[in-house]
Amino acid sequence: MNSAFYQEKVENILLVKDKEEFHHLVKVRRVKKGEIIRLIDGKGNEFISRVEEIDLRKRVLKATILEHHLKKHELPFKLTLAFSPLADGKANDYLIEKCTELGVSEFIPVLFERSVKKRFRIERWSRIAREAVKQSNRSTVPSIVDPIGFSELLKKEGFQHKFFGHLEGKPLHCETSVFGDTIIVVGPEGDLTNKEIEALLKAGFIGFRFGETVLKAETAAVALATLIIFRMGGTGKN
């Protein structure tokens, strides 16, 4: 089923007015009148809708709501990823795209001592996240906040579980599988410093390892998110 973001809701009618969304549906996906499509607002609302009208001149698609779902295909807990933006722009794109597909609900760029990238393409990452939401049938676009310093990361509260990737950490199966809002930290390409590791442990974060191999930072982010979701049994089938 084709998916898109809608821009306006009038009673039982949804309007797709954004030029890019309209073009993708009509010119790329070849959606026709009478077809059933999936329209979302990025805030958790999903509407299974029937296309009633396609105005090529005004570039507006009109659809009638058939079903409404709230936060369907979303994880039953909030999953936040704090990461060090990488020198390779494509690696950052990969990290945002794949972690969004998995169910991450918030991205926090963090400046660690060994972070090499000082410029952040928040707008680009947001576009990638939006496309990944449509592709993966999610209904909520993850937030990507402004970069913070490491000291601010340590002060983050409201999480039941706090983890970070660490070569000398515990295997994940040693930890709890109870649902709860979770933050995971992936350090920079040069790894976390000993001082940062000590500070994370002191702040209540638990370090754990993936195995005996050393992963690229973007691979570690995807692997870490996958393991957390699997361990907590979060399927997003609500």
> Does the pLDDT of residue 6 top 90, yes or no?
yes
Q: Are residues 90 and 192 in the same domain?
A: yes
Q: Are residues 63 and 92 in the same domain?
A: no
Question: Residue 7 in contact with residue 27, Cβ under 8 Å?
Answer: no
- Is residue 238 situated within a structural domain? no
Q: Are residues 166 and 197 in the same domain?
A: yes
Q: Are residues 135 and 223 in the same domain?
A: yes
Per-residue confidence (pLDDT) for residue 208, from 0 to 100: 84
Assign residue 54 the CATH number of its domain. 2.40.240.20
Q: What is the mean pLDDT of the chain?
A: 91
Q: Are residues 90 and 205 in the same domain?
A: yes
Cβ count near 155 (within 10 Å): 8
Final residue before a domain boundary, out of 35, 70, 105: 70
Q: Are residues 56 and 103 in the same domain?
A: no
- Is residue 39 situated within a structural domain? yes
Final residue before a domain boundary, out of 15, 45, 70: 70
pTM, to two decimals: 0.90
> Domain count of the chain?
2
Q: What tokens were used for 209? A: 């390892």
- Is residue 40 situated within a structural domain? yes
Q: Are residues 64 and 83 in the same domain?
A: no
Residue 159 phi/psi, 5-degree rounding, is -110, 135
Which of 152, 85, 84 is CA-nearest to residue 124?
Answer: 85
- Kindly indicate the confidence band of residue 172, based on its pLDDT and cuts at 50, 70 and 90: low
Per-residue confidence (pLDDT) for residue 93, from 0 to 100: 96
pLDDT: which is higher, 10 or 191:
10
Residue 237 phi/psi, 5-degree rounding, is -95, 65
Q: Are residues 142 and 47 in the same domain?
A: no
Final residue before a domain boundary, out of 70, 94, 113: 70
Rounded to the nearest 10°, the torsion over CA 54, 60, 65, 66 is 30
Q: Are residues 98 and 194 in the same domain?
A: yes
Question: Residue 220 in contact with residue 186, Cβ under 8 Å?
Answer: yes
Mean pLDDT computed over 213-236: 83
How far is it, in rounded angstroms, from Cα 160 to Cα 175?
12
- Is residue 168 situated within a structural domain? yes
Q: Are residues 63 and 139 in the same domain?
A: no
Residue 218 phi/psi, 5-degree rounding, is -70, -35
Q: Are residues 187 and 126 in the same domain?
A: yes
Per-residue confidence (pLDDT) for residue 228, from 0 to 100: 87
Assign residue 166 the CATH number of its domain. 3.40.1280.10
**Structural domain of 165:** 79-232
- Is residue 237 situated within a structural domain? no
